[in-house]
Structure 1
Amino acid sequence: MELKYKGKTKDVYSLGGNEVLLKFKDDVTGENGVFDPGANSVGLTIEGVGRSGLRMTKHFFELLKTKEVPSHYVSADLDDVSMVVREAVPFGKGLEVICRFRAVGSFYRRYGAYLEQGQRLNSLVEITIKDDERGDPTISKDTLSELNVLTEAEYEALKQLTKTICGYIKEELATKGLELYDIKLEFGRDKETNDIILIDEISGGNMRVYKGDQYIEPLVLEKEFFKA
């Protein structure tokens, strides 16, 4: 296999035929040795975190496949800690799409003058651009269109797709007594068909989940979700 890209938490290998292999690593983002899924640099290595993330990712992508949600997912190998996916082209230099069901985290810090912490939100969608140097700023529909990253029609399609996907994930977590507060997704265009598809991973590091009033740490979430 040809190494295409070394990422912070995954390495990407070319398989040919419009497919690539994602090799999950035990490196996690954080600062000063403390795990932080929102950080922009690798902070530490935790044994087993790669497999944990892949196990949840496999579960949710296979769930979404039954719902006919377009994604890059082909297959996953938990023993090899790897996933085969269709190759995708990012929007611009990369976008992150956040769906919020509760006012917490950075959303509450920005808008706390207008709502209470933990207040319910109606599947509110925000988009940020991937830019470590500028702190991954949020970006509006008009700006995305002006910069030729997304057309207005593509923005609306992406927003609706995000709401649909996150609704399925929220419902699935609820079957285990878990509540999804917010989640970060990534999308791209299928390199072969140019269709908008869900990419990257769906794991504890991408979501904020509670059980009652208790926040469930990303590394604990997999065990809580899959326990009998």
Structure 2
Amino acid sequence: MKLIYKGKTKDVYELEDGNYLLKFKDDVTGENGVFDPGANTVGLTMEGAGRAGLKLTKHFFEILKEKGIPTHYIDADIEEATMTVKPATVFGKGLEVICRYRAVGSFLRRYGMYAEEGQPLDAFVEVTLKDDERQDPPISEDALDMLGILSSNEYKELKDVTKKIAGTVKEELAKKDIDLYDIKFEFGRTQDGQIVLIDEISGGNMRAYKQGEYIEPLQLEKFMLEK
């Protein structure tokens, strides 16, 4: 295996057959020891976070596969905390796509003059650039198109599939009486140009609450996968 990229929460290797292997770590993003899915830094290490994130990711990717929603997922090895995926290139140097059902986090920090904490949002989709130096600035459809990162047609497709995937996750969480406040995705293009969901769907990239109480990523995996 050839190491391609060392990330904050996972490392990426190239396999001999042309596919890729993601190795999940126990590091999660946050600041000053507090978890934050939107943070640009590793805030803390939580033992078992890598496997927990992978278990939940496998669970959700297999549901999406049944629904015919395209992802890069091939299979996962929970013991090794690895996931085998199809190759896909990111848009520009990477985008994050957030779907918001409640006003919390960076949305509230930016729009607090108008928004109240926790107020309902109608599956609001926003795109940010993966740019640690500039603290992941939000970017509009027009700017994405003009800068050659994503065409307007691709943006519309991205927005549509984001709502479908977030809606699927929200429905699954609701079965356990868990409310999804927001969730962050990454997408890429496969070699044939298809837009697919990449990376992961785990407690580390969403905010979820049960009876008004925030659920930690490791706890979320337990709630979701317990029989």
Q: Same fold (TM over 0.5)?
A: yes
Equivalent residue letter for 2:200: E
Q: Deviations over 1:27-85 (max 9, x none)?
A: 22233444433322223322211001000000000010000000000000101110000
Matched, 1:116 2:116: yes
Q: How far did residue 226 of structure 1 move?
A: 1.9
Q: Residue 223 of structure 1 corresponds to which residue in structure 2?
A: 222
Q: Deviations over 1:78-97 (max 9, x none)?
A: 01110000011000000000
Q: How far did residue 103 of structure 1 move?
A: 1.2
Matched, 1:212 2:211: yes
List runs of 5+ in structure 2 lacking aligned partners: none
Alpha-carbon distance in 1 for matches of 2:15, 2:119: 45
Contact 2:98 2:182 survives alignment (8 Å): yes
Q: How far did residue 129 of structure 1 move?
A: 0.2
Aligned in 2, Cα 1:207/1:62: closer, same or farther, shift over 3 Å? same
Q: How far did residue 13 of structure 1 move?
A: 1.0
Matched, 1:202 2:177: no
After superposition, the CA RMSD in angstroms is: 1.3
Counterparts of residues 75-224 of structure 1 (less than 5 Å): 75-190=75-190, 192-224=191-223
Alpha-carbon distance in 2 for matches of 1:102, 1:16: 43
Alpha-carbon distance in 2 for matches of 1:151, 1:203: 28
Q: What SS is found at the alignment partner of 1:66?
A: helix
Alpha-carbon distance in 1 for matches of 2:115, 2:4: 45
Equivalent residue letter for 1:214: E
Q: Deviations over 1:127-166 (max 9, x none)?
A: 0000000000000000001100001111011001101111
TM-score by length of 1: 0.95
Q: What SS is found at the alignment partner of 2:40?
A: coil
Equivalent residue letter for 2:126: E
Q: How far did residue 121 of structure 1 move?
A: 1.1
List runs of 5+ in structure 1 lacking aligned partners: none
Aligned length: 227
TM-score by length of 2: 0.95
Q: What SS is found at the alignment partner of 1:16?
A: coil
Percent identity over the alignment is 64
Contact 2:49 2:217 survives alignment (8 Å): no
